[in-house]
Structure 1
Amino acid sequence: MKFLVSVLACVLFQSGSANAATPSYLENHATSSEDFSSITKLIGDFGTAIKTKNPKLLSTLVLNNKVLFMSPWPVEDIKEAQNGWDTTFDGTYPDGYSTFVKLLKTEKSPIEEKFYNVKITQDDNLAWVMSDFEFMKEGVTLNHGVKVWQLMKSVDGNWKILSVVWSSKGKPSQ
């Protein structure tokens, strides 16, 4: 019974805080039209780097070659890996960026990534970009989902990618 009361209290507390009005100072993000334009350009340059298979252009957009760049494994696959061969596997991998660069260098067919419903949130030298996306090869959508980017403004004033993480839903059902 104590457990049930505790759970109920937590649910009521969380629902109360979720309905509370947001203090106005929290919505006062430091942003500018110049930064918004620069971030929008970065998104366009990212798409251009993919479409033109230009890893050098892509490298100018990321903070460094160790940025988090991945789609986490599905929970059921993580469990299978943990049960089968690696109890510490968490569904992430460190070499996503370098793997993607190799794809750009070796892929012979036309590839492209399109972004929809792009939302940019910026506060000072940090920004977040969230969008729906589709990744295509030879005009056929191979993957789609939601993509989330974290960006930071570097000391030279340019926006750089800190991380890119996306859901993977594969080919859309038709």
Structure 2
Amino acid sequence: MRRLLLAFVVTSLFLNSANANATDTVPAYIGKHVATPEDTRAINKVIEDFQTAIKTKDRKLLSTLVLNSNILFDSPMNPEDIEYVRDKHDTTFDGLRAGGYGEFARVIGMSKEAIEERFYNVKITQDGNVAWVMFDYEFVRDGKTQNYGIETWQMMKVIGGSWKIASVMWTMNRPST
């Protein structure tokens, strides 16, 4: 037992020492991103407009926020569901749907109920002409949360200096009833 405990302590000390040495060798420029207050405001405006477009069911406004209508826009299926689809229907299925943005925009525009997506804990990381936006969300239909999770956007600064959403992925959890 003592040998096992001693081996654990020595291994822990070695790993902690190795981790400390690894962080000592990180170049000074790592973690230093190029970002401006103007870009942060512009990215926050895209976030605000995205929420407004959903709430007002404004598909045209929504379309102005994305790079193009073919962007990756989906909540990937879990591995078990992918395997089921591959076994039963399509051996090449990867868990992502084609046309995710178009379907989302159609659902938003056609919805008869009040809808909104609420964002919490928004974090923006920008480095030059690329930015990542990550937040907790809940999708609310008719005052009831339909699903919630984490959502991430990749964004890029385009000609003219505006920011566009280049991809959207999210987890989808159902509230317990």
Cα distance in 1 for residues equivalent to 2:169 and 2:78:
13
CA shift in 2, pair 1:93/1:17, >3 Å = farther
Give CA deviations for 1:41-73 in whole Å, capped at 9, x if unaligned: 110100000000000000110011111110001
Residue 141 in 1 paired to residue 145 in 2?
Answer: yes
Cα distance in 2 for residues equivalent to 1:50 and 1:140:
15
Cα distance in 1 for residues equivalent to 2:141 and 2:170:
18
Deviates most, 82-91 or 51-60: 82-91
Task: Give the ranges of 4+ consecutive aligned residues of structure 1 lying more than 6 Å apart after TM superposition.
Answer: none
Residue 60 in 1 paired to residue 88 in 2?
Answer: no
Q: Percent of aligned pairs with the same residue?
A: 51
SS of the aligned residue for 1:169 comes to coil
Report the aligned-residue RMSD. Answer: 1.8
Unaligned runs of 5+ in 1: 1-11
TM-score by length of 2: 0.86
SS of the aligned residue for 2:120 comes to strand
Cα distance in 1 for residues equivalent to 2:57 and 2:19:
47
Residue 25 in 1 paired to residue 16 in 2?
Answer: no
TM-score by length of 1: 0.87
- The amino acid across from 2:98 in the alignment is P
Unaligned runs of 5+ in 2: 1-13
Pairing 1:1-174 to 2, within 5 Å after superposition: 16=18, 20-21=22-23, 22-170=26-174, 172-173=175-176
